Chain A
Amino acid sequence: MDIFVQQLINGLVLGSIYALVALGYTMVYGILELINFAHGEVTMIGAMVALAAIGLIMGAAPELPGLVIVLGGVLVAIPACMLLGFSIERLAYRPLRRAPRLAPLITAIGISIVLQNVAMLVWGRQYIAFPPLLPQGRHEILGAHITDLQIFIVLLSVAIMLGLWFTVRKTRLGRAMRATAQSREVAELMGVNVNTVISATFLIGSALAAIAGVMVSAYYGLAHYYMGFMLGLKAFSAAVLGGIGNIAGAMLGGFLLGVVEALGAGYIGDLTGGFLGSHYQDVFAFFVLILVLVFRPSGLLGERVAARA
């Protein structure tokens, strides 16, 4: 029982991070119908930049409280990622908006590889440790442990998601985004500046990615130039699970995937009689993705049927 509760907690924490990244995929897909492969890498860059900034701040003002230093790192990472996401769209995706489908997809993969390798050249191949700046308190509920950091990650993610929900539903920009997602041409006829909307989408998605990147590196205590790849793949699976293009779906899918993965990793050893162990954790997201594609391609909350062809 306590294993179950523990894995449920771990899953919800991971899931909230997946959800933040998945939002970036789903918003871009909703508007451009493009899988932004580079999004996972933007998350990684967010973590790396934040860590570099944290290192600098720690060197300059070590007497500051840990939380403030981390906040400083996040505040550097967010604009850096926003600039990155904006430039990627501007330089790599926009010129190809009318090209055959394969072209922007291949470009996105190329960008993702370039970012990964630039990060490797700048920050090296080794794992970078996240300094222990955040509160380390542990609490006990139902026989399981939950740390301050875990509570903080979940609460912050939920707050950000509520903010995003409000932006998309209640503001002028949000309305323009929804209109563009429904039909770019008609939105344009109605006076929506589609290019501005697309740029705004990339800016918001990248800001979320930056925060998620810091969260994931703080949670695992590590950052690595390759960390964005699996994270991106899982977040995309979460977006598909919830119904790609659907913002609430990405949130739901993220949480669900996190829980499935944590429970799966916790129980796979028992289920297969010890044949497969928890190092197969990364496989679950992928099986979830396949199952969703087979049985419900539109995802859990997807109104729009994932179009054929």
Chain B
Amino acid sequence: MIMGFFRKHPQIAFVLLAALLLALPFLVGAGLGKSWVRVLDFVLLYVILALGLNIVVGYAGLLDLGFVAFYALGAYVYAWLASPHFGLHLPFWAVLPLGAALAGVFGVLLGTPTLRLRGDYLAIVTLGFGEIIRIFMNNLNAPVNITNGPQGINLIDPVAFGGFAFAGTHTLLGLKVSAAHLYYYLFLAFTLATIFVAMRLQDSRIGRAWAAIREDEVAAAAMGINTRNVKLLAFAMGATFGGLAGGLFASFQGFISPESFNLLESIMILCMIVLGGMGHIPGVILGAVLLTVLPEALRHIGDIQRAWLGQVVVDPADLRMLLFGAALVLMMLYRPEGLIPSRQRKREFHAEDSVAEQEQASLYDARG
């Protein structure tokens, strides 16, 4: 009934949603505590990442297992150009696009040799690429110190507009606003922009070409789509969003190290997409929200164990990855289209069933 009301008055729904999004960090901060505002920031960051990977995996059907490498590139570019490490302090509006663009270039470099081949090669090459980038980040501290090795890069500049830096606590309009709050609004703006781009891409000529390639590459090529270039474009665009999120992450965290960019991260982002519904924006957002908030909530399992069993038997942090892996398997076996799938995707994953149903139906028709 409520949904019906909103459907009849989309403006009211829009205003309510906007108000909710604007007030959210204060509501969460007051209701759950300050640490949850940071969780909220990470939710938005992961929404950007998941939507970026969704272009590659969801739209074009290319399995990219090294997405975190692009995230890492974006973050390191930001750290190099805006921290005491090289003594450079460029403003964020100059650094962010650079990081995103570099990530996009690397996407093309990596995609070119592999995209001519079958999809599974891409999966394994990207997986390797992710690890390689991490190995380089870990070891490029000698003889020339480029990445500062496993210690990572510290004291990265926060985002600043003119003299107004996103650090410490400010008092704006009589409200106490922490850096986490400010980053929330910055990330929200980027997230909304990402959602907008993702939506427009999906309905564009390129988006339809991606869907065609995903469903049948040979048929798509026969229809005149330059499959290699279009796939490359998907790869580059996904990587660009990854780089963008990396830059945001570096500025928000103020510290990065290779540890933040391991395989776990790639798998987690993939999990968000698979869980929510590949290729469907609301599904992907839901997946990102669920998988960012759940591990935070899972931390309490440790407390529960301590209360009930007197000790922590299984560290919840260890369980996290196990659950992600199991979720991937179970989703593929029982609900490959995700929690909220798009109608088209549902048909693709159940193509055989629906054909069988149609045959059944026509059989009954014939009997009359």
Interface residues, chain A, CB within 8 Å of chain B?
34-35, 92, 95-96, 98-107, 109-114, 116-118, 120-121, 229-230, 233, 236-237, 240, 274-277, 279-280, 282-283, 285-286, 289-290, 293-294, 297, 306-309
Contacts and interface: CB of A to CB of B under 8 A. Distances in A.
A102 B57 CA distance: 9
Given A104-B332, A109-B270, A308-B116, 4 more contacts: A103-B349, A109-B325, A110-B324, A233-B131
Interface residues of B, number: 51
B185 interface: no
A114 B322 contact: yes
Contacts of A99: 332, 336, 349
A258 to B, nearest CB: 17
B274 A297 contact: no
Interface stretch (B80-88, B121-129, B157-165, B175-183): B121-129
Contact of B113 (A104, A107, A109, A290): A290
A96 B349 CA distance: 11
A113 B267 contact: yes
Contact of A289 (B128, B318, B327): B128
Nearest to B65: A109
B303 interface: no
B55 to A, nearest CB: 15
B121 A293 contact: yes
**Consensus secondary structure, chain B interface:** helix
B208 to A, nearest CB: 18
Nearest to B219: A309
B306 to A, nearest CB: 18
A113 B125 contact: no
Given A121-B314, A233-B127, A294-B113, A102 B61 contact: yes
20 contacts: A35-B123, A102-B119, A105-B120, A107-B328, A109-B65, A109-B270, A110-B327, A110-B332, A114-B325, A121-B322, A229-B263, A282-B131, A283-B132, A285-B128, A289-B128, A293-B113, A293-B114, A294-B113, A306-B118, A308-B117
B19 interface: no
A110 B118 contact: no
Given A106-B63, A309-B217, A286 B333 contact: no
B144 interface: yes
Contact of B329 (A110, A117, A233, A282): A110
Interface in B102-144: 113-114, 116-121, 123-125, 127-129, 131-132, 135-136, 139, 143-144
Contacts, number: 136
B143 A113 contact: no
Given A106-B274, A113-B328, A114-B326, A96 B333 contact: yes
A129 B84 CA distance: 42
Contacts of B319: 117
B116 A110 contact: no
A157 to B, nearest CB: 23
B329 A35 contact: no
B326 A277 contact: no
Interface in B55-80: 57, 61, 63, 65
Contacts of A308: 116-118, 217
B118 A309 contact: yes
A98 B114 CA distance: 25
Contact of B267 (A109, A240, A283): A109
B121 to A, nearest CB: 6
B129 A286 contact: yes
Contacts of B121: 240, 293, 306
B17 interface: no
Contacts of A103: 332, 336, 349
B54 to A, nearest CB: 13
- Ranked nearest first, the 10 interchain pairs of A and B with the lowest CB-CB distance are A110-B328, A113-B325, A110-B329, A309-B217, A117-B322, A114-B325, A286-B128, A294-B113, A107-B332, A110-B325
Contacts of B322: 113-114, 117-118, 121
Contacts of B325: 109-114, 116-117
A114 B135 CA distance: 24
B218 interface: yes
B120 A277 contact: no
B96 to A, nearest CB: 29
A282 to B, nearest CB: 6
A26 B321 CA distance: 28
Residue of A101, A237, A307 most packed against chain B (CB within 10 A): A101
B352 interface: yes
A35 B270 contact: no
